[in-house]
Chains A and B, each alone.
Chain A
């Protein structure tokens, strides 16, 4: 792909020089990466820098970061209880404030053991909006009248949910160039009207979303804007076919437009806002950022802050099987296939109020940027500056533990991929070339690359 671009832009005499230069640059890049992995390998274990936890069990995503002060540790524990708290209909002795409409009654009900949820109602949700001629910098997506930007498919007694959600799975077959067959499935979301006052417009855009794991997000929040923006290449000036771009989103707390980091399309600026939005949208629990009309709220600032702090201070699981030759080979293949261009293996955090998060070298395997992933994965639902086919690069740290933490759970934004292999096969758009490279690998090489992912 890069070659054909060059031939368009360079006169014939320039091609060989350009190719040589590119070869040299690739060589340097490879050397830096190899060198990096040498320098880093003993500590390649330290996926989350000082926050790395030594746990590869089903509780791997739920461990407090090491190195918290006694006070921070207590706060983390308090936040843990908040994260587990099941809300119920008011009045109640414990945890009143649920609903009236909601998706789940607790944080952990969807982010099970601080990881994903299953791609089914109850543990996932459906985002909705209407097609937008222009981007409203304050909303990001046009709400469906009466419903908003998310279908709350549960209600406390006596209230009617936004709509009835049905998810149907369609399966199709394909095969690798070597003849190995595979099957891929994708969901179709159907909305049924339940509330007479909430008709579902025919042009409603829908997007099924599984909850992503929450650990490590404190570190992602502490990466300086500059470092993320430096990775962006919106006009693909380097002609590698990959044009990561930042999302810029409205921050309801700062009341201004800032870099988006969280959410599957990076539509949220901070964990504080993300947590507040999850309380109010997913559980119907009002809070100081999203209060009731009269200004009161179900939880106070202290609860919101403590829950946010809990998420920020969860540790990142260490890698496993680092001395396995197959894993080491898989890591090289991952780089060779250009996966690491978006799934950036190493970033550095900057300042943070939480000491253990500051100035850490981390291995999140994300560039925090949006990429066009092709029609196969597109939900057709824009969000702020993210188009209907763009997604934020998913962090891959801990991805090998996905089904240890939650057996049978899926990968990608809607959990459609039942295995990491299926997840790769769904890559398209800017990742088309990398996917093709994976598909043309020998079976052993594909296995090695998958084993590397499983070591993360």
Chain B
């Protein structure tokens, strides 16, 4: 390499560095408006007419009130998981009572307790983030479908049916839907004389296992499991210096609003939309107990709790997403609140049980109306709430 070449290289290098340094000073300014920049590019993706949900979200990244996030954790997440845990304890007791003393009364009480438990759980769907996935709680409690073939073989076998045995079973052999299957039959039609001793033992063990897992889930949020910090702290401290999970305050609030969007989308598209297209109950999630409509209602009611930062029966909380929106754009808050009520009313209008009405042509208008009302709410949140967060 000649000396001339080296000189040339050095000159180019220096010039290059100067240009680079000079220009990089404009970086922070330019990155202030990321969403607009990105939206243009995504639309330039020339994908023809984009399907509705391919539209990317346009977060404002301006949310500053960490208290809203902390208050949500304290006034919604923790009480909901505590309530769920209490309900599983009651269910476990009711299943024990039924196993020990099978009668129409104890069977009805156990079924009632299952529906209560299910309601509590479905209200938590809009905040199904955090430890529930990593620690396997979600799978252990809410796997769908359950493995009917294997469950039958377990019943026919002489394997032990204790809580410990259930804890070691595969997810599709336990949890709420396994209890539902054994307790209600395949179409809410199981009579008292169809229960074998082994089935009642299995039910009792399933109830005890569910109670334990629900306690662990609550503990993971409240105090932390295996030396991990309580997840309540992780979420409530969004934006604090050492928080690598939610490194900014908007990240914490966006977790909440993503939960809203995902939950409503799941109800409209998967839980309602797919069975509506199929005109069959096969893919309705609580079809054994004919309880799916109740599940959907509770999903939306839980989302409403998240938005309002409180349980349904508590008085209004200012430190909430709803309170924040009221300050920034009161008419938007009114719009969202109204659409929540309309969505819930529309679901209520669907003739129960959904397991029957899903294939009933006469119920089609109500089904369509409910799906539309949920989608409208989802769109309002995506288009109008997301830019404020």
Contact = CB atoms under 8 A, between A and B. Distances in A.
Interface in B30-78: 30-32, 34-35, 37-38, 41-59
Given A32-B16, A35-B16, A105-B172, A323 B47 contact: no
Contacts, number: 250
A407 B231 contact: yes
Contact of A157 (B21, B28, B153): B153
Contacts of B314: none
A69 B143 contact: no
B37 A45 contact: yes
B208 interface: no
Contact of B47 (A28, A58, A68): A68
A35 B19 contact: yes
Contacts of B130: 58, 407
Interface stretch (A277-285, A314-322, A338-346): A314-322
B245 interface: yes
Contacts of A156: 147, 149-150
Q: What secondary structure prevails in chain B residues at the interface with A?
A: helix
Contacts of A59: 129, 258, 262
Interface stretch (B7-15, B104-112, B325-333, B356-364): B7-15
A335 to B, nearest CB: 12
A24 B24 contact: no
Contacts of A89: 147, 149-150
Nearest to B231: A407
A403 B50 contact: no
Nearest to B44: A50
Contact of A321 (B16, B57, B131, B248): B248
B244 interface: yes
Contact of A408 (B144, B153, B228): B228
B247 A454 contact: yes
A117 to B, nearest CB: 9
Interface string A405-417: 0111100000000
Interface stretch (A73-81, A218-226, A374-382): A73-81
Contacts of A8: none
Contact of B258 (A28, A52, A58, A321): A58
A71 B254 CA distance: 28
Contacts of A109: 139, 171
A404 interface: yes
Contacts of B1: 17, 21
A118 B134 contact: yes
Contacts of B315: none
A66 B45 contact: yes
B136 A122 contact: yes
Given A42-B37, A88-B150, A20 B47 contact: no
A31 B147 contact: no
B384 to A, nearest CB: 16
Contacts of A253: none
Given A88-B145, A407-B231, A408-B228, A35 B20 contact: yes
A51 B235 CA distance: 28
A49 B45 CA distance: 9
B133 interface: yes
Contacts of B49: 69-70
B133 A321 contact: no
Interface residues of B, number: 85
A91 B17 contact: no
B231 A88 contact: no
A105 B41 contact: no
Nearest to A89: B149
A92 B149 contact: yes
A65 interface: yes
Given A112-B134, A409-B134, A28 B48 contact: no
B31 A323 contact: yes
A70 B131 contact: no
Name which of B31, B54, B136, B254 has the most chain A CB atoms within 10 A of its CB.
B54
Given A21-B9, A86-B143, A454 B149 contact: no
A121 B130 CA distance: 20
A390 B129 CA distance: 35
A34 B248 CA distance: 26
B234 interface: yes
Interface string A75-106: 00100010000101111111100100000010
A21 B45 contact: no
B154 interface: yes
Interface of B: 1, 6, 9-10, 12-14, 16-17, 19-21, 23-24, 26-28, 30-32, 34-35, 37-38, 41-59, 129-131, 133-136, 139, 143-150, 153-154, 157, 170-172, 226, 228, 231, 234, 244-248, 251, 254-255, 258-259, 262, 269-270, 274, 282-283
8 contacts: A34-B17, A38-B26, A73-B53, A74-B51, A91-B149, A93-B282, A157-B157, A318-B34
Interface of A: 17, 20-21, 24-25, 27-28, 30-32, 34-35, 37-39, 41-46, 49-59, 63-74, 77, 81, 86, 88-95, 98, 105, 109, 112-113, 118, 122-123, 154, 156-158, 315, 318, 320-323, 328, 355-356, 400, 403-404, 406-409, 454-455
Q: Nearest 3 pairs between A and B by C-beta?
A: A67-B45, A73-B51, A31-B16
Given A31-B17, A92-B149, 9 more contacts: A20-B6, A43-B38, A68-B50, A70-B51, A86-B145, A88-B150, A90-B149, A92-B147, A408-B135
